[in-house]
Structure 1
Amino acid sequence: MTGTEQEIARYVGQVREALADLPPPVRNELLEDLPEHLTEVAAEAEGSLYERLGPPEAYAMELRTAAGVRPPASAANLDQRIGAAVRRGRERIRAADTRLGPVLGYARLSDFLRLLRPAWWILRGYLAAMLITVLLTGTSFGLLPRLGGSSLAALLLLAATITASVWLGRRTDRMGPRPRLVLNLGAVLLVLFGLAGFAELDSRVGSGGNTMPYEHVYTDQYSGVQDVYVYDSQGRLLEGVRLFDQNGEPIRLGHPWCAEARERIVPGPDYVDPIRQPYPYCPQGAPFRFGPTPSPAPEPPAPEPPAAEPTAAEPTASAEPSATPGGAAPSVTPSGGQSPTPTPTD
């Protein structure tokens, strides 16, 4: 359907609404030749039907007058009042369209906006991707949609939503009134969502906060650890240390980085499983040393048997005789006792 055909169908529909109070046979008779007449009018000169024939309500009044049919004296019903309000709103929009067009260098503002439709289709797809991300992940509005923190998923989601938006945009003119109304309401919701999201993003940037949600930023503080050095209370480096958690599971950090440690993990007679290697892997790389590395303590000496207690001295007889002058008999002096006193003789 071309633009002229759409304009004719829209004009005929508005005239039909203005004649809604008439019986269906009368209304159909008045509108029977209207599409062909409007086609001839549109082909004669440039300009819209509204500009050449006036508002549809005025044209409907002319049809009533020509057919000798007058509008009912009773007040219009609710549907007619709503229709009249809608028509007045459309007339005001058309008047504003005509006044604002020359400001941008076009006959009507709608002519300029029609050129921006592809850009709007892309923006609509982007906002749809952001809305899907917020609803599925619960994160705040960002510059790009994030599904599980994956950039590839974000690009695939953007490609799908933008493609669908362009596909819908190229077929909007062929849709019926209700699908077009639903699409327009969805566009309004996306615009409101985008305005709120960009306002929140601007407030985070203005307050010096991160533009990305905190839960997506994770840094492992042990990712740069190559070796572990353990010191005692006196600042001496301990070697042959193994680390365990509260469950008895070994804690492994780093990887043998010096040449001596790497040689031990090469398959061969000196191979040592890296998981079984104690810390530090490379003692020569210790960041500081406060004292000599403690050496293994010497084994204590074997205890000596206790000494025997001394006993009391016993008298012993001397086996050596002592000679006395004059040929006297030798006297025996007991050791440890008093020597006997000789008895005088007559």
Structure 2
Amino acid sequence: MTVTGQDISDYVDRVRAALADLPPAVRDELTEDLPEHLAEVAAETDGTLVDRLGEPEAYAAELRAAAGADGTAGPPSLDRRLAAARHRVRARLSRLDARLGPILGYASAGEFLRLLRPAWWVLRGYLAAALLGAMTGGGLTLLPRPFQSEVLGIVLLAAAVLASIALGRNADQLRRWPRRLNRLGTLVLVVFGLVLLVNLDERSQRQDFYEGVTVGNPYDSVQDVFVYDEQGRLVTNARLFDQNGVPIRLGWPTCVDGSGAVPPPRNVYPYCPEQAPFAPPRPSAPPPVPTVSASPTTATPTGSAPPAPGVLPTVTAPAASPTGPVPAPTATR
């Protein structure tokens, strides 16, 4: 049943009539924003105002008790003070709602926000899935990963969005405590969404934040990557890319720096050069360099004495060649 403007006016008139015994200033203060509040209630749920708020006389009694004008002796109780505070806050929000409406092109801001409820239902389901993924070891990631599983994350995300849509369509049928739990859960998800947004923004500002290539088994157990050139020398600060130029991310640092903390992963390899599996090759020994004597030496024939002074040496004839004998020369004095 649609609540009309006449229904709201009649309800307000009956509330004011029930408060007729109060001073005019008090009565006007209690019912100042009542029409706006009734219009908001009528837009949020189906049914008449009496079904939602009760009879106007009972509602007037609640306003009277909240303001401490019910004729009871003594100071107002805690419940009455809380009710009065809620009424004042509700009145201020109603005035703010009416002022922001024309800026958005609607009679009230609530009317504009009601158009965005389906989008909020989807976002609420995503935030719920992300929160469950973080609580099950998946961390703060864009895609929920419960138990580090992307498949479970997709299933959880779809189920959470569908459940959130169903809850949003039936939220008007919730009673007192379920309605409060729904509002409390909404507040928790909003706070978690802000934390997730801040975390992702901080990670995007770091130099090591980039979209890597997911490598499946058997590379899930890789902790570090060591690159060697053709001479067997370790290459430091090496970068890995796939055929599309996308950086490849593997491993996680297992060493500690000078302060005793594990350094954050970088987009260069190896993370820990001191843990290289192969030692650098040993250099080969240089060839021996020959030594040259500085002073010349004179060769002396072995087995013969030097000739006496003034005597010519005797030359021995060589052996005869196959072609014939050769006469030996004779030494003369």
TM-score range, shorter chain: 0.3 to 0.5
- Greater Cα radius of gyration, structure 1 or 2: 1
